[in-house]
Amino acid sequence: MVTTREDPATAVGVKGEAAARSAGRRLSATERRALIEQAAARQLAERGYEATTVEDICAAAGVSKPMLYRHFDSKQDLCMGLLERRRDELAAAPLGTFLETEGSVEQRLEAMIDAWFAHVAEHPDSSRLLFQDITGDAQLRDLQRELRRRQRAADVAMLREFGPPLPEAELEPLGEVIRSSLTGLALWWLEHADVSRASVVSAMLRTIKGMLATP
């Protein structure tokens, strides 16, 4: 039986709202916005952008449409914000770990990969949304292409920093191999909760080491 990883933030948000209601307290604007984002990430990741309506998101978040529109201009605006923030935070997680980690290149790379997958595990719904192809909105597709371009550029920079001299014409294709391998493995891992993070980190490290060892 395949078990998927659940977003801990979603459970916390639901519990937080329930606690606030039982205490007779209204959620703050920040708490309400976070609740809407958590609900939207899950709905969009599970149902897809086209199939998800504003009504679906409101029902999942337990808010009215006017309340949602106080925080977001549209479903598109909400989705764009989720994509951009997840990509930026996902990129920052391994970079911060790399700067803090001492040791060999391999040890630092392993720490970076582990931090990346740890962040995915903490935010599975918005990570799925970021990694899956979005259909039904040209602007979102363009944004997704741009976010993938940025990630590919970061992976190319890593190859320049740690790898042997490589033909210039191969750098961007190799950057895409790393980017697509990470996101593809992450999507698979999110559907296989029985697989440890250490296992996927080891598999990804083996892939990147193979590239870095190629003359």
DSSP string, the chain: ---PPP-HHHHHHHHHHHHHHHTT-PPPHHHHHHHHHHHHHHHHHHH-TTT--HHHHHHHHT--HHHHHHH-S-HHHHHHHHHHHHHHHHHHHHHHHHHH--S-HHHHHHHHHHHHHHHHHHSHHHHHHHHSPP-S-HHHHHHHHHHHHHHHHHHHHHHHHHSPP--HHHHHHHHHHHHHHHHHHHHHHHT-TTS-HHHHHHHHHHHHHHHHH--
Task: Tell whether 208 and 159 lie within a shared domain.
Answer: yes
Average pLDDT over residues 40-45: 97
Give the pLDDT confidence of 94-112 residue by residue, as tens digits: 877 777 778 888 888 899 9
Query: In the numeric block, which tokens belong to residue 133?
Result: 């192809």
| pLDDT at 22 > cutoff 70 | no
Average pLDDT over residues 120-149: 95
* Backbone torsions φ then ψ of 25, nearest 5 degrees: -105, 140
Task: Tell whether 54 and 91 lie within a shared domain.
Answer: no
Compute the C-alpha angle 31/52/143, nearest 5°.
Answer: 80
| pLDDT at 37 > cutoff 90 | yes
Average pLDDT over residues 202-208: 93
Domain hosting residue 136, numbered range: 80-213
A 10 A CB-CB count for 103 gives: 10
Domain stop point among 25, 52, 75: 75
Task: Tell whether 105 and 143 lie within a shared domain.
Answer: yes
Does any domain span residue 1?
no
Does any domain span residue 154?
yes
| pLDDT at 137 > cutoff 70 | yes
| pLDDT at 14 > cutoff 70 | no
Does any domain span residue 2?
no
Task: Tell whether 67 and 85 lie within a shared domain.
Answer: no
Task: Tell whether 20 and 93 lie within a shared domain.
Answer: no
pTM for the predicted model, two decimal places: 0.85
Task: Tell whether 50 and 88 lie within a shared domain.
Answer: no
Average pLDDT over residues 171-199: 96
Instruction: Specify the pLDDT at position 60.
Output: 96
Task: Tell whether 199 and 104 lie within a shared domain.
Answer: yes
- Looking up tokens 């994509």 gives 83
Q: Is residue 75 a contact partner of residue 60, using CB atoms and an 8 Å limit?
A: no
Domain stop point among 45, 75, 105: 75
Give the pLDDT confidence of 142-177 residue by residue, as tens digits: 999 999 999 999 999 988 888 888 899 999 999 999
First CA to last CA across the chain, in angstroms?
Answer: 42
Average pLDDT over residues 193-211: 93
Task: Tell whether 142 and 188 lie within a shared domain.
Answer: yes
Confidence class of residue 215 from pLDDT cuts 50, 70 and 90? low
Task: Tell whether 89 and 155 lie within a shared domain.
Answer: yes
Task: Tell whether 173 and 135 lie within a shared domain.
Answer: yes
| pLDDT at 18 > cutoff 60 | no
Q: What's the CATH number where 147 sits?
A: 1.10.357.10
| pLDDT at 129 > cutoff 80 | yes
Q: What is the mean pLDDT of the chain?
A: 87
Task: Tell whether 111 and 16 lie within a shared domain.
Answer: no
d(CA 38, CA 126): 8
Does any domain span residue 34?
yes
How many domains, the chain? 2
Average pLDDT over residues 39-47: 96
Where on the phi/psi map is residue 5: left (φ > 0), alpha (ψ -120 to 50), or beta? beta
Q: What's the CATH number where 43 sits?
A: 1.10.10.60
Domain stop point among 24, 50, 75: 75
Give the pLDDT confidence of 46-96 residue by residue, as tens digits: 999 999 999 999 999 999 999 999 999 999 999 999 999 999 999 888 877
Query: In the numeric block, which tokens belong to residue 196?
Result: 């440890």
Task: Tell whether 69 and 85 lie within a shared domain.
Answer: no
